[in-house]
Amino acid sequence: MKGKTRGCMGLTLAGALLLLSAAGCGGSEGERVPEGTEEAMQATPETQTQEAQTQGTDGAGLAPAESELYVERVEGLPEDFLFGADVSSYVAERESGVRFYDYEGNELDDQGFFDLLADQGVNYVRLRVWNDPYDAEGHGYGGGNCDLEKAVRAGVWATQAGMRVMIDFHYSDFWADPAKQQAPKAWEGLSVEEKAKALSEYTEESLTALLDAGVDVGMVQIGNETNGKFCGESDWDAMCRLFSAGSGAVRSAAAEKDREIKVALHFANPETEGRYADYAAQLAAHEVDYDVFASSYYPYWHGTTEHLTTVLSQVAETYGKQVMVAETSWASTLSDGDGHGNTVAEGSNDRNLPYPISEQGQAMELRDVIAAVHAVGDKGIGVFYWEPAWIPVQVYEESAKDAQAVYERNAAAWEKDGSGWAASYAKEYDPDDAGQWYGGSAVDNQALFDFSGHPLESLRVFRYVYTGTTAEPVAYEPGEDAAAEDAAAEDVEGNLLLNPGFEDADVSMWRLDAPGDCAGIREEPNNVRSGAYCLHFWAEDAFSYTAEQTVVLDAGTYRAGAYLQGGDAGDDAVFQLYVRVGDDTRTAETEMTGWQNWSNPEVTGLVIAEDGTEATIGVFVSSGPGGWGAWDDLYLVKE
């Protein structure tokens, strides 16, 4: 994940596809860290929770912690479970003047901030590193301007607080994620072998510099969210050659310094059927040497925690690898704190949610993700929270009189210090995304600090999971916040289609031509736009299908529409809404840009000349191997 605004989620993928077709390179998305030391735990002032951990028990039999936040105990959680915090933006934030406080309201210095994390049970800090996030004049691209020097600074504070450090090499000059895996400027044009050599040298030099500076590196990530693309390469032979080069360099640097450092690989989109099994099989076939298979997990994009456990268990059991969540987060509010739109906001990733948007929701989410990784068994080693401290430079309130002035001061700080997700200077390297949408933090409402830098109670979940808390259990029906809105969405006024959202048991009005069961009307709460059912599709091999219904219309002008979400269908995929009247067919093409990113193709101005005219409304999909997604909430209305 990164700081993208909600407005550019789709453009990111589109930009990547452009890149793919234009330059033969592309990319896709993610980030963060793991492991707890005795020292970190003993440094805490907590009482009951501390005893639970320092006594080497899992908290069984100990009294729950006093808190107004409800946290259910995770049974049998080992004391060495990794609780990570990715604070990659911290140094740039501080350079922009951001302040942090402890629970008593005392302002913290840098060491105090890292001590606070450790006191709350965080035992690992994750730091992303970009090769050269600067233009020729030395202007930073933003996103924390995360170069090696900043990782050294933050890494030393983390180490002195008793935490270990995970270094997340993107092997790019800016964000690497499922949509972007651009090689560093300095490596452009290199052959795979030349790139492997450069990557190996860079890794060993950087890691050695960190160790020499006294940073307690315990894990190194070779690439970030490398979903089928890595460092400008997109075939598995080349990717695995580069993974192996990075891994070998970590092994070599660790041996040189007599250290044990785990090698992690990091992927995203655990919700896709078969994705991780395929990736792990590729890594095994290419004999890539790694220790940890890490995943991003954002509940509004990445399926259920049960499914996460299933796909991570498959990798753990089949290949004997350790697994973890390298990134997760949840929103405490739908408000924006800095004047730059957020990933989770009203109308964006706020529907059919499994947890409430609140501090309590953060606690439930983090607790469940920890439980989901622990449910894998001994191989499930940890969970890292992504950017819990990426808060506003100055707090922006849309309705305040000085809103524009605050925004301008924030924007100036993002440009100068790189404390936003991207600065305008990134456009030379990332013209289609950062070049268009540069700005502040898109995750300030997913931090574990409030907008003005005070720690939220949800930061204490890393401790509370050992004992549970005294608060009354919170009942939350998944999706209940969006229930009223959903009801409205299903009930488009004057909709002439029958069973338009696939919720009724009688589906006979829909004619489905879907060879091999590649598509069907299914109960898929994670894939719906509303309700519980949708027209879901997926197949391992290339596939195509149609689904349609016929209605009888009076004379008039009509508009038809549908909603589509999904991904991985390939560059040549076709997604079409069509309306057929006699020999005439009108179509509206669309595309898929990710889980729960709904596109809305429409056919408008459809003229029916005579009463009693039959019209057939349908959807057609032609997808490459592994494409997945869902249609929902079709409509046909008289204009």
Judged by CB, which is closer to Ca ion: 271, or 444?
444
Of 342, 349, 360, 576, which lies in the binding site for Ca ion, with binding defined by CB under 5 A?
A: 342
CB of 573 to Ca ion, least distance (A): 33
DSSP annotation string for 120-165: TT--EEEEEE-S--B-TT--B-STT---HHHHHHHHHHHHHTT-EE
Beta strand 511-513 with 380-386: parallel, antiparallel or unpaired? unpaired
CB of 342 to Ca ion, least distance (A): 5
Give the Cα separation of 509 and 497 in Å (integer).
9
Q: Which of residues 536-575 bind Ca ion (CB under 5 A)?
A: none
Binding mask 237-256 for Ca ion (x = CB under 5 A): --------------------
Separation in Å, CA 408 to CA 97, 161, 394, 396, 606: 15, 35, 10, 10, 46
CB of 444 to Ca ion, least distance (A): 4
**Catalytic pick among 204, 233, 327, 359:** 327
Judged by CB, which is closer to Ca ion: 332, or 441?
441
Judged by CB, which is closer to Ca ion: 337, or 479?
337
CB of 411 to Ca ion, least distance (A): 12
Single out the segment in contact with Ca ion by CB under 5 A; choices: 50-58, 260-268, 328-336, 557-565.
328-336
Of 168, 173, 338, 633, which lies in the binding site for Ca ion, with binding defined by CB under 5 A?
A: 338
CB of 359 to Ca ion, least distance (A): 18
* Burial (Cβ within 10 Å: 0-12, 13-18, ≥19) of residue 153: middle
Task: Output the six-digit token pair for 5.
Answer: 């605004």
Number of H-type helices and E-type strands within the chain: 15, 19
CB of 404 to Ca ion, least distance (A): 16
Separation in Å, CA 532 to CA 47, 365, 519: 45, 21, 16
Question: Is 493 annotated in the active site?
Answer: no
Task: Output the six-digit token pair for 95.
Answer: 């350079």
Which residues, listed in sequence order, are joined to residue 566 by a DSSP beta bridge?
594, 629
Judged by CB, which is closer to Ca ion: 265, or 406?
406
Judged by CB, which is closer to Ca ion: 224, or 342?
342
Contact 294, 266 (CB under 8 A): yes
Q: How many residues bind Ca ion (CB under 5 A)?
A: 6
Judged by CB, which is closer to Ca ion: 50, or 332?
332
DSSP annotation string for 462-510: HHHHHH-BSSPPPP--TTGGGHHHHHHHH--TT--SSSTTS-SS--TT-
Judged by CB, which is closer to Ca ion: 295, or 410?
410
Task: Output the six-digit token pair for 512.
Answer: 């489905």
Judged by CB, which is closer to Ca ion: 225, or 444?
444
Give the Cα separation of 72 and 356 in Å (integer).
16
Question: Is 306 annotated in the active site?
Answer: no
Which one, of 375, 474, 473, lies nearest residue 64 by Cα? 473
Which one, of 367, 345, 368, 369, lies nearest residue 357 by Cα? 345
Task: Output the six-digit token pair for 292.
Answer: 């940890």
Sign of the alpha-carbon dihedral angle for 479, 480, 484, 487: positive
Backbone angles phi, psi at 624, to 5 degrees: -75, 180
Which residues, listed in sequence order, are joined to residue 550 by a DSSP beta bridge?
616
Separation in Å, CA 612 to CA 459, 496, 582: 63, 14, 12
Binding mask 351-380 for Ca ion (x = CB under 5 A): ------------------------------
CB of 445 to Ca ion, least distance (A): 7
Of 115, 336, 450, 632, which lies in the binding site for Ca ion, with binding defined by CB under 5 A?
A: 336
Give the Cα separation of 447 and 450 in Å (integer).
7
Give the Cα separation of 95 and 525 in Å (integer).
43
Give the Cα separation of 289 and 118 in Å (integer).
31
Single out the segment in contact with Ca ion by CB under 5 A; choices: 148-156, 162-170, 339-347, 481-489.
339-347
CB of 433 to Ca ion, least distance (A): 17
Of 340, 351, 460, 536, which lies in the binding site for Ca ion, with binding defined by CB under 5 A?
A: 340
Single out the segment in contact with Ca ion by CB under 5 A; choices: 28-36, 148-156, 334-342, 536-544.
334-342
Give the Cα separation of 371 and 73 in Å (integer).
9
Give the Cα separation of 610 and 308 in Å (integer).
53
Judged by CB, which is closer to Ca ion: 200, or 419?
419
Judged by CB, which is closer to Ca ion: 336, or 432?
336
CB of 387 to Ca ion, least distance (A): 12
Single out the segment in contact with Ca ion by CB under 5 A; choices: 91-99, 122-130, 377-385, 433-441.
433-441
Length of the chain equals 639
What are the start-end ranges of the H helices in 29-122?
Answer: 38-42, 48-54, 90-95, 110-119
Judged by CB, which is closer to Ca ion: 221, or 441?
441
List of residues 6+ apart from 35 with CB closer than 8 A: 80, 82, 123, 124, 164, 218, 219, 381, 382
Give the Cα separation of 328 and 310 in Å (integer).
17
Single out the segment in contact with Ca ion by CB under 5 A; choices: 34-42, 101-109, 435-443, 626-634.
435-443
Single out the segment in contact with Ca ion by CB under 5 A; choices: 135-143, 224-232, 333-341, 537-545.
333-341
Of 86, 433, 444, 450, which lies in the binding site for Ca ion, with binding defined by CB under 5 A?
A: 444
CB of 6 to Ca ion, least distance (A): 10
**Catalytic pick among 31, 225, 233, 271:** 225
Interaxial angle between packed helices 110-119 and 148-160, expressed in degrees from 0 to 180 and rounded to the nearest 10: 60
CB of 51 to Ca ion, least distance (A): 39
333 binds Ca ion (CB under 5 A): no
Catalytic (active-site) positions? 225, 327
- Residues forming contacts to Ca ion in the complex (CB under 5 A) are 336, 338, 340, 342, 441, 444
